[in-house]
Amino acid sequence: MVFLLSVAALSAVYLVVARLERLPALRFRALSSPRPYLRTDLVWYGLAIAATAMSVFVFRPQLAALQPPPLRDAVASLPRVLQLLLAIVVFDFVSFLVHVGLHRSDVLWNVHKVHHSTRELDGFATTRTHPIENLLRFVPGQAVLFVVGMPVGIVAAAVAIAAIYGVSNHSNLRTNLAWLEGVVITPRLHRSHHVPATTPHNYGAIFSIWDRVLGTLVRRDTGPQDRFGVPGEVDSYPQRFAVAVGYPLVQIRQQRARRLAGAR
Which pLDDT score is estimated for 6? 82
- Tens digits of residue pLDDT in 20-69: 999 999 999 999 888 899 999 999 999 989 988 888 888 888 888 877 78
> Can you give the pLDDT at residue 74?
87
Please name the residues in contact with 163: beta carbons below 8 A apart, sequence gap of 6 or more. Answer: 10
Q: Where are the alpha helices (DSSP H) in 123-218?
A: 131-147, 152-169, 187-194, 209-214
> What is residue 118's three-state secondary structure?
coil
Q: What is the pLDDT of residue 264?
A: 66
Residues 178-202 pLDDT 10s? 889 999 999 999 999 999 999 999 9
Q: How far is CA 110 from the centre of its chain?
A: 15
Average pLDDT, the chain: 92
Phi-psi label, residue 23: left if phi above 0, alpha if psi -120 to 50, beta otherwise: beta
Q: What is the pLDDT of residue 133?
A: 94
Give the tens place of pLDDT for each residue, 196-242.
Answer: 999 999 999 999 999 999 999 999 899 878 999 999 999 999 999 99
Mean pLDDT to the nearest integer, 134-154: 91
pLDDT tens profile 60-104? 888 888 777 888 888 888 999 999 999 999 999 999 999 999 999
One-letter amino acid identity for 170?
A: H
Band the pLDDT of 262: cuts 50, 70, 90: confident
Amino acid at 74: A
Amino acid at 180: L
Is residue 184 classed as helix, strand or coil in its secondary structure?
strand
**Which residues 6+ apart lie within 8 Å of 150 measured at CB?**
67, 75, 83, 86, 87, 90, 158
| C-alpha distances out from residue 94 to 1, 25, 139, 147, Å | 28, 36, 10, 13
Residue 247, pLDDT score: 97
